[in-house]
Each structure stands twice: as C-alpha cells, then as structure tokens.
C-alpha cells in the first residue's frame, strides 16, 4: 500500500484516498478533494441550509412580522384597485404568520381561515397571488385545479397540489407544512349537475370530496413528482393542518344566481326600476356562500373556506392606471424591451385610451391589455434590432392599423 502511495501524485485531503482510487480528483491551492467527498459536502451544506431556514422560520416574532397595512401597501405597488380583496388577503396572511408563531401554553387553538376569491377573468386573482408570494417569509405555491380528477381516472390526484409546494421548499417537509397554497380555477371543479348523482363526476364533485381532507388538515401522502400515485412510488407524508389555502375562480355566470337570490332581474322585461345598470354590474359585491352552493360547490367545501371575498370588474379608469402605474406596468415593460435594443419608445396620449376602449369592447379585462399591446407592437419589436432610427413614436393611427389587420378586428365584430 505504501508503494502504491509513492506512485500516486494526488491524495484527497478529506479521506486520504489517491487519485487512482476515485473517479475524479479536484486539486486546490493547498490540497485536493475527490468527487465522493465533494458530493457529500454538497449534501451536508444542503442539510445545514435547511436547518438555518427552519430556525429562521421558527424564530418569527410579532415585531418582525409584516403588518396587514404593510402587506397591502406592497400589493398596491403592483395591483390596481381591488381594495377589499387586498385587505382580506393581507389579514389572512398576517393571521397565518401569527398561527405559526402561536405559543401552545394555553388551550386556545387558532384555526386557519382559508379564503375563496370570486372575480371575473382578467381582474387580478392570479396577479394578487404572485405578488404576495414575493414578500412572504413562508413557502408559497400556485397550483391549478383544472387538471385534477377523482382517483383512478386520467388526470392528477388531489394530493399532487402539494407537490409544487414541496418543490418550492426543496422537499423539506417541515417547511412545506407551514406554507401557503393558491388554488386557481377552483370554479372548474363545480358539480356538473344540480343534484348529487349516483354516477361519477370525476372532475367535479369527486375532486371536491377529495379536497376536504386537505383544506381541513390531515396527513396526506404526496407523490414527489406529481401526477398519479402507484404502489411502487415513494410517498412523502405531509400534514396540512398549518397550510393556508387561498382559492380563486371566475365563477362565470354566478351573477345570475346572485340576482335570483336578491329577487332582481338582470335580463328581460319588467326589470325593477330601482336596480340600475351599475348595480347589476356590481352583483359580485353581494356574493354569499349560498350562491357558491347554487353554482356547484358542495356545502362541506364551502364550510372549509370561511372567508369569501370578491374582485370588482375593472372600469376604464382602473384599466388606464394598470397600463402605466404599477412597477411592472405594461407600458414600462415595452419601453424597457425597446430600450435594450437602443430604441426609445414614445407613446401618444390617445393611444392608451384607444387600447383600453378596445379591451372593454372585447370584454378581455386587464389580461387583454397585454394581448392588445403585443399585437400592436409585434412589427415594431421585429424591426427594432435593425432600426437606424433610435426613436419610435406610437400613434393611434398606427395602433388602429395593426389591430385592423389582426384577429382582434374579427373578434370585435363577432361580439
């Protein structure tokens, strides 16, 4: 063995093995490390960082917690309007922090308050979730309910909702059990019929029944890679007792359910004179749990989502502000894109009003602003890298020409 060491040139400073005994030897200034010791060092560093993150999370105190006003002020920088929903979210997240920081010396057990947000498409449900995720000190994941089906059918199991939260925590179970999950498109799992059926509702009521244990709080086996569970797969047990669930959905057509409950007509002859058009447009403000039940959510799942709030439809002023005011406003994004090509973008004042009017006409909401702007700017961005003129002025005439030769003009005529 001594003779073998004499013929070797490099030795690992950690385990002492020679370069002939390992696959790779990494030399340094004053020593070497083999590939096996390097891999073990990476594993140990990950374990140490997990412990540090856990200690940092556990040491949260009331002085360092972001207050509801601070959370809302942060949301105001990115989301225009929706004051009520921002307040509900801010208080819910703050209370979630307090639950994690709760002392168990007394017999009072603070229960979690899951939230359900109702709002038309393009009003900012997903944007609220993404924005609030940036400032949180707890793990956060956004998942989609449309891919879920009842166990045994094509699709994903309910437990796969927690897979993304696990991945956000690098599969640290203790961190996962303190996280927040935003379930988008919750309305897509509504019961398909008015009454419970003896037949299978594999992507509706069946999914809602499966969600009950997650929302209430129980130990579930989560497939690490998502998708379907199978017997040979290794599962990760996660306790959902301290996981806060925020659900969002458009609930298209729920205004009719609300109108029926309020005994007001929204369409047809004999509309009550005291119900103005503006009141009918704001029917979502009066949404109640019984409306969700009429829409197709089962009573058990409604009871596990005790906080119900709504997002208001965006008016013209709000859409104008969305274009220019937020930190990541659409106008700022396109100016930055052209600036990276050395081109200054100048937008006439009447262009923004034209885009907003078209978004309202096409009933696209805030999401349509981006689509319209992209359609108008696509030719400019195509030519920008090779433009000799370093200044481009976007006029209403140019914007109108771009939309007229696109599919948006056909869409406007069909509405």
Whether residue 60 is predicted with pLDDT greater than 70 in this model: the reply is: no
Quote the pTM value. 0.72
Give the range of the structural domain holding residue 10, as residue numbers without chain letter. Answer: 2-58
- Quickly state the pLDDT bin for 38 (edges 50, 70, 90): very high
CATH number (domain holding residue 87): 3.40.50.300
Let me know whether 224 and 349 are in one domain.
Answer: no
Give the integer Cα–Cα distance in Å for 94 and 88. 10
Q: Which of 39, 58, 77 is the endpoint of a domain?
A: 58
Question: CA 394 to CA 351: how far, in whole Å?
Answer: 7
Closest C-alpha to 293, from 196, 215, 203, 212: 196
Q: Is the pLDDT of residue 182 over 70?
A: yes
From 262, 280, 310, the end of a domain falls on 310
Taking all residues of the chain, what is their mean pLDDT, rounded to a whole number?
81
**Model pLDDT for residues 141-174, shown as the tens digit of each residue:** 888 888 887 665 666 778 888 888 888 888 888 8
On whether both 130 and 180 belong to a single domain, the answer is yes
Percent of the chain with pLDDT over 90: 23
Measured distance CA(196)–CA(296) in Å, rounded: 10
Q: How confident is the model at residue 192 (pLDDT cuts 50, 70, 90)?
A: low
Listed in sequence order, the residues at least 6 apart from 264 whose beta carbon sits closer than 8 Å to its beta carbon are: 271, 272, 275, 280
For residue 7, name the pLDDT band (cuts at 50, 70, 90): low
Give yes or no for a contact between 133 and 78, defined as CB atoms under 8 angstroms apart: no
Read off the pLDDT of each residue in 279-301 and give the average, rounded to a whole number.
85
User: Is it the case that residue 103 has pLDDT exceeding 50?
Assistant: yes
Pairing of strands 244-249, 32-34: unpaired
Q: What are phi and psi of 117, to 5 degrees?
A: -115, 125
Exposure string of 252-264, with b = 16+ CB inside 10 Å and e = fewer, is eebbebbbeeeeb
Cβ–Cβ < 8 Å for 238, 225: no
Does residue 89 fall inside a structural domain? yes
Spatial separation of the C-alpha atoms in residues 256 and 266, rounded to whole Å: 7
């Amino acid at each position: 063995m001594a003779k073998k060491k004499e013929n070797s040139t490099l030795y690992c400073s950690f385990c002492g093995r020679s370069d002939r005994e390992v696959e790779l030897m990494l030399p340094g200034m004053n020593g070497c490390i083999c590939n096996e010791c390097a891999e073990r060092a990476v594993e140990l560093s990950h374990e140490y960082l997990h412990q540090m993150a856990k200690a940092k999370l556990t040491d949260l105190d009331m002085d360092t917690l972001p207050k509801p006003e601070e959370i809302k002020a942060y949301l105001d920088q990115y989301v225009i309007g929706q004051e009520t929903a921002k307040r509900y979210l801010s208080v819910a997240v703050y209370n979630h922090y307090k639950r994690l920081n709760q002392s168990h010396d007394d017999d009072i057990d603070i229960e979690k308050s899951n939230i359900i947000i109702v709002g038309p498409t393009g009003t900012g449900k997903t944007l609220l979730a993404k924005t609030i995720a940036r400032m949180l000190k707890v793990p956060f994941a956004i998942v989609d309910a449309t891919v879920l089906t009842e166990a045994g059918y094509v699709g994903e199991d309910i437990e796969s909702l927690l897979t993304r939260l696990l991945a956000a925590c690098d599969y640290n179970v203790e961190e996962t059990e303190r996280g927040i999950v935003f379930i988008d498109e919750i309305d897509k799992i509504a019961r398909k019929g008015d009454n419970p059926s003896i037949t299978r509702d594999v992507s509706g009521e069946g999914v809602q029944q499966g969600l009950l244990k997650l929302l209430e709080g129980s130990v579930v086996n989560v497939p690490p890679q998502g998708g379907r569970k199978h017997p040979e797969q290794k599962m990760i047990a996660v306790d959902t007792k301290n996981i806060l669930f925020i659900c969002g959905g458009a609930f298209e057509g729920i205004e009719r359910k609300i109108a029926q409950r309020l005994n007001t007509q929204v369409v047809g002859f004999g509309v009550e004179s005291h119900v103005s058009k503006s009141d009918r447009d704001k029917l979502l403000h009066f949404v109640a749990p019984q409306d969700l039940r009429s829409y197709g959510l089962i009573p058990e799942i409604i009871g596990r989502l005790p906080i119900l709030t709504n997002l208001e439809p965006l008016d013209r002023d709000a859409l104008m502000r969305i274009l220019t005011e937020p930190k990541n406003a659409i106008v700022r994004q396109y100016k930055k894109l052209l600036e990276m090509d050395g081109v200054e973008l100048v937008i006439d004042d009447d262009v923004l009003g034209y885009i907003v009017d078209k978004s309202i006409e096409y009933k696209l909401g805030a999401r349509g602003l981006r689509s319209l702007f992209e359609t108008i700017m696509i030719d400019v961005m195509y030519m920008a890298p090779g433009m000799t003129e370093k200044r481009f002025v976007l006029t209403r005439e140019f914007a109108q020409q771009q939309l007229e030769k696109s599919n948006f003009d056909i869409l406007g005529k069909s509405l």
